[in-house]
């Protein structure tokens, strides 16, 4: 099908204003991504176009196996500003960025430095960069709360505990999105057991803050445990989709991500036709009337886009997507937040 898209060429002053904001610390301008293009070409993702997403082609040259789209004005019945990057994973490479490892001194997994997404872009030059998993700081060390696997090596497991008072302890299985050693992509729930093995499960441990804690996960609980065999992986909180079904397991995963309220969100997913979809949406009224989405909303959007697997990553002020180093949404901090990990596509 031939798609006719019209481009509106921006005047130099608008382009200058946007370039000034692409580093953290500056105020965000109004969105300049509205244009018409007078070219005829077949879009490689017609199902996405049919849902009202608009191809974005003025963010610099991308490989022919990566496309970027802006959302329609409404998603899940809410006013929205969102972007997706769609990559053909028969050609593209998925990687997790960030200098993290186990520190004997800190007795934990993480690192001593945070980076803005722009800094991750400058070091990697990946055409697509988004924020990664959750983290926290203590004693000058930044602890990764989420799994990181790079080149087949586990650099950090998902956080394997939760407590509100440090008396009653829960042991949740948290979500992860992984490229497996056989080349397939899947979401799963993981837990590093007392035996040092990082297990994955076909369903989460059924924890709930309103119920008594369940036993710590192991090779026998929850059922179906396997040692996770992945070449690349990023953890998050809330498996959105697994095997084509909406899961939205934030209750069982327990970490507080304000899942049921409207927030800026970042998510990663995979389709049955071997496309990776990276999603980011604006929120907290950085643009008037754009409050953001719930994780249930994001799960629905990702499924509508064709994903069978999807994971919610860190959100809120961390949510950011760069295309060739250029920002898309307005971050809710008013600037880029420094984060411990990022996801890159090249």
pLDDT at 346: 98
Give residue 16's pLDDT. Answer: 30
- Which residues are CB-neighbours of 259 under 8 A, at least 6 positions away? 238, 248, 250, 294, 295, 296, 312
Q: What is the total residue count of the chain?
A: 346
pLDDT along the chain (346 residues), means of 10: 34 31 43 47 93 95 98 97 98 98 96 98 98 97 98 98 96 98 97 96 97 97 98 98 98 97 98 98 98 98 98 98 98 97 98
Do the beta carbons of residue 311 and residue 176 sit within 8 Å?
Answer: yes
**What is the pLDDT, as a whole number, of residue 40?**
53
**What is this structure's pTM?**
0.89
What is the structure's pLDDT at 76? 96
The pLDDT value given to residue 37: 44
Residue pair 219/207 in contact (Cβ under 8 Å)? The answer is no
């Amino acid at each position: 099908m031939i798609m006719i898209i019209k481009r509106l060429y921006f005047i130099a002053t608008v382009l200058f204003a946007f370039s000034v904001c692409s580093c953290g610390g500056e105020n965000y301008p109004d969105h300049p991504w509205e244009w018409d293009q007078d070219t005829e070409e077949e879009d490689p993702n017609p199902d996405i176009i049919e849902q009202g997403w608009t191809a974005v082609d003025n963010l610099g040259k991308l490989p022919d196996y990566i496309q970027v789209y802006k959302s329609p004005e409404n998603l899940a019945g809410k006013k929205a500003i969102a972007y997706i990057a769609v990559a053909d994973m028969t050609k593209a490479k998925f990687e997790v960025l960030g200098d993290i490892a186990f520190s004997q001194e800190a007795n934990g997994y993480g690192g001593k430095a945070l980076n803005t997404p722009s800094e991750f872009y400058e070091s990697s030059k990946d055409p697509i960069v988004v924020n990664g998993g959750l983290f926290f700081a203590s004693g000058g060390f930044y602890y990764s709360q989420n799994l990181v696997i790079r080149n087949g090596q586990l650099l950090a497991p998902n956080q394997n505990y939760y407590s509100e008072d440090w008396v009653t302890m829960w042991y949740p299985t948290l979500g992860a999105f992984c490229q497996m050693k056989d080349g397939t992509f899947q979401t799963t729930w993981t837990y590093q057991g007392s035996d040092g093995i990082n297990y994955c499960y076909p369903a989460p441990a059924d924890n709930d803050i309103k119920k008594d804690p369940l036993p710590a996960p192991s090779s026998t609980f929850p059922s179906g445990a396997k040692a996770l065999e992945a070449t690349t992986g990023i953890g998050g909180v809330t498996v959105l989709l697994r095997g084509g079904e909406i899961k939205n397991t934030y209750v069982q995963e327990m970490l507080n991500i304000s899942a049921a309220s409207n927030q800026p969100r970042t998510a990663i997913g995979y389709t049955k036709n071997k496309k990776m979809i990276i999603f980011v949406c604006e929120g907290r009224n950085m643009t008037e009337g754009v409050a953001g989405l719930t994780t249930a909303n994001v799960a629905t959007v990702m499924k509508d886009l064709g994903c069978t697997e999807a994971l919610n990553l860190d959100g809120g002020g961390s949510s950011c997507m760069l295309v060739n180093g250029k920002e898309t949404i307005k971050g809710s901090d008013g600037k880029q937040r420094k984060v411990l990990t990022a996801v890159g596509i090249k």
